[in-house]
Amino acid sequence: MLTNKKWIAAVMVSSFVLLSACGAKNDAKSAGSPDASESQAPASQTTEASESPSAAEPVTIEFWYGLGGKLGENMKTLIDKFNSSQSEVIVKGVVQADYSETEKKLQAAIAAGNVPAAVLTSNVDWARKGYFAQIDDLIAAQPDFNPGDMVQTFLDQGKVDGKQYFIPMYGTTQVMYYSKEALEKQNLKAEDLKTWEALAEAAKKMTVKEGGKTSFYGWEPMWGKDNMMDAVFAKGGSVLSADGKTVTIDTPEWIDTWEMFRKWIHEDKIMRIHSGGQGWEYWYKTIDDVMKGNAAGYTGSSGDQGDLDFTKLAAMEQPGWEGVGAGKPVAEAILASIPEKASDEQKKAAFKWFSFFSNTENTAFWSMNTGYIAVRQSAIEDPAFKAFSETNPQSKVPLMQAAHGSSPFKDPTGGKINDALKIAADNVQISNMPAAQALKEAQETAQKALDKLQK
């Protein structure tokens, strides 16, 4: 876990090399990051696999992933590279609209008994139900995989009840991107925005209102619960009590934080939320506002960096709170899985693909070209990674932030607590409902689900 400071420093250097083309993410976006854009391929579009010469008939598998834009382009690059590198396995990439769409399609495929062999998705509850294959034996059978070189906090996120079900493909965390020009006009620097209170004051200065309407926003948080939860964690808030029996999302840390976001969006009108649309449409509208000069900055995935112009923009870590300390945003692994209903031959082929994707050279490539965090500690030794970090300082931000980040919340109810939080976030961000009311309703719903589980 992120406790060894010396290791963290090394890993930070490693992730510094990981950025240049992205579209998640999360928690993301991770995005993504963790990630779909106007250039995104349609849902369920199959990318062409490279022909690979083979003495024996290769095993052909489908790999489902919900990545569009430059993320999708980089994924296709690595699929083609894998297919050209050997003759035993052919991977056919099948593009979904986003992460959620991937899971929905997979659920239908599992029910029909006709599953892909590899999927960029994870679901703890499904693993416990036997929908995903346990992969400890596959890891042990491939000595070149070297799990000890993995960033252990990411590898651990792929475990369920002590057994490995998921492989980390990349890491993500939500960081802050801002227009250099917008800050310069108000004589502001990133160092002036170390707290949410300071960011709000700066947003007021940068916001432009014309005819009673806001024409330029001081900041744009990303739609959804995630970055508001990050802000809560920075205040010391938690989702569950220490004993895991009580849902604690109606405490002052939650209510005060989410109420400030509501006020900034609906009353002060210094911030704006883009919501809805197809796939990641809302995400790219948010990015476009900053890129096209309609907003000073936004909160987004580390995986966005490949879509951004850093001659105009810069990146910084999420703020903390006055009198509390630095931010503690979630640092999360984006995980891949192998459905249990895949054949043994397909499972071995899928793991061969995952192992290739996550090797030192390729995880460094992915990080440099997307902004996501590399999953191997050895990425810091990759020559291209070292060179990249020297000329792309924004690439350092995700790793530095991950060094003091929070682990993602694992919902013991199979998603019911997270669903309640999603509804509460929409009520605050979109419907202008007071945070106390939205979170009280969410806590009651979530507590009922938790109580039912504990009976």
Over residues 181-204, mean pLDDT: 96
What does the H/E/C string look like for the chain? Answer: CCCCHHHHHHHHHHHHCCCCCCCCCCCCCCCCCCCCCCCCCCCCEECCCCCCCCCCCCEEEEEEECCCHHHHHHHHHHHHHHHHHCCCEEEEEEECCCHHHHHHHHHHHHHHCCCCCEECCCCHHHHHCCCECCCHHHHHCCHHHCHHHECHHHHHCCEECCEECCEEEEEEEEEEEEEHHHHHHCCCCHHHHCEHHHHHHHHHHHCEEECCEEEEECEECCCCCHHHHHHHHHCCCCCECCCCCCECCCCHHHHHHHHHHHHHHHHCCCECCCCCCCCCHHHHHHHHHHHCCCECEEEEEHHHHHHCCCCCEEEECCCEECCCECCCCEEEEEEEECECCCCHHHHHHHHHHHHHHCCHHHHHHHHHHHCCECCEHHHHHCHHHHHHHHHCHHHHHHHHHHCCCECCCCCCCCCHHHHHHHHHHHHHHCCCCCHHHHHHHHHHHHHHHHHHHHC
What's the pLDDT band for 55 if we cut at 50, 70, 90?
low
Q: Is residue 70 pLDDT above 60, yes or no? A: yes
Average pLDDT across the chain, whole number = 88
Over residues 396-418, mean pLDDT: 88
Q: Is residue 254 pLDDT above 80, yes or no? A: yes
Q: Is residue 42 pLDDT above 60, yes or no? A: no
Q: Is residue 211 pLDDT above 80, yes or no? A: yes
The ranges assigned to domains in the chain are 5-172+332-402, 174-329
Degrees to nearest 5, angle at CA 183 with 179 and 186: 150
Question: Token pair of 419, please?
Answer: 């669903």
How far, in Å, CA of 294 to CA of 213, rounded?
13
**Percent of the chain whose predicted confidence (pLDDT) is above 90:** 75
pLDDT single digits (tens) 270-286: 999 999 999 889 999 99
Closest CA to 450 of 236, 243, 225: 243
Kindly report the backbone phi and psi dihedral angles of residue 255, in degrees, each rounded to the nearest multiple of 5, phi listed first.
-65, -45
What's the pLDDT band for 49 if we cut at 50, 70, 90?
very low
Q: Which CATH number fits domain 5-172+332-402: 3.40.190.10, 1.10.287.110, 3.40.50.300, 3.40.50.150?
A: 3.40.190.10
pLDDT single digits (tens) 332-382: 999 999 999 999 999 999 999 999 999 999 999 999 998 899 999 899 889
In CATH, the number for domain 174-329 is 3.40.190.10
Cα separations (Å) of 436 from 55, 232, 257, 419?
66, 14, 10, 17
Given a contact cutoff of 8 angstroms between Cβ atoms, the answer to whether 254 and 439 are in contact is: yes
Range in 89-93, 335-339, 385-389, 416-420 the model is least confident about: 385-389
pLDDT value of position 455: 75
How far, in Å, CA of 336 to CA of 138, rounded?
14
Per CATH, 5-172+332-402 and 174-329 having the same topology is answered yes
Question: Token pair of 252, please?
Answer: 């002052």
Whether this prediction's pTM lies above 0.85 is answered by no
